[in-house]
Amino acid sequence: MSIEQFIDNEVKSNDVVLFMKGTPQFPQCGFSGQVVQILDHVGVGYKGLNVLESAELRNGIKEYSNWPTIPQLYVKGEFVGGCDIIREMFQAGELQQLFVDKGVTVNAAASA
């Protein structure tokens, strides 16, 4: 399986995927940490993939999305953005609405 096939499979078989530096439990960059905090606050389940474990994954995701930075968030197979975009969408209430529109289960208590 090529790295592009691996990424494509992860993005399409998980509702929410975060390509990040570190893990959701131990982010290893401030930007990845901010996105983890936002997703945890919203209360959405997601899969975190650590790009630091593989140079092939780190470079592959940048080519896959045509986006130069990490973290990268995908919802229902669609690239949403990096840290700044996710933060702005969250502050405007657009991220929460995106999850609702895409049919992604959100913990109501966390999003209130």
d(CA 96, CA 5): 29
Nearest to 72 by CA among 27, 30, 21, 25: 21
Beta bridge partners of 72: 19
83 annotated ligand binder = no
Binding-site residue set: 29
Binding-site residue set for [2Fe-2S] cluster: 29
